[in-house]
Amino acid sequence: MNTTTLNNTSPNKTIQNKAEAQDDDISFIVKDIIKYKLGLNESQLIESANFQDDLGIDSLDMIELQMELEKKFGITIKDEEAERLRKVGDVIHFIKNIR
């Protein structure tokens, strides 16, 4: 059985598979990944925040974020799809829709 740890700070909180993840869990996981992978404060992680304009994230950071999301959720994000993920909320909704 594949078990995914939600974040590095709460190793006991896991999901058994993508189907078991609730919307709130996905939002939490995505924001946690963004926060730790890109070194942002939680207060910055509002759904309307644009990665480039509001958060100052460059293309290399976005590729690293994409790779981490793929690893954490066991998915593949095509380059065309990744280009449309411009805001925190875009990423959350994308993950929710593919599970």
List residues with catalytic annotation.
Answer: 58
Buried b (16+ CB within 10 A) or exposed e, 3-29: ebebeeeeeeeebeeeeebeeeebbbb
**Amino acid found at 66:** Q
Q: Which residues contact 94 (CB under 8 A, 6 or more apart)?
A: 77, 81, 84, 85
What tokens were used for 72? 């954490």
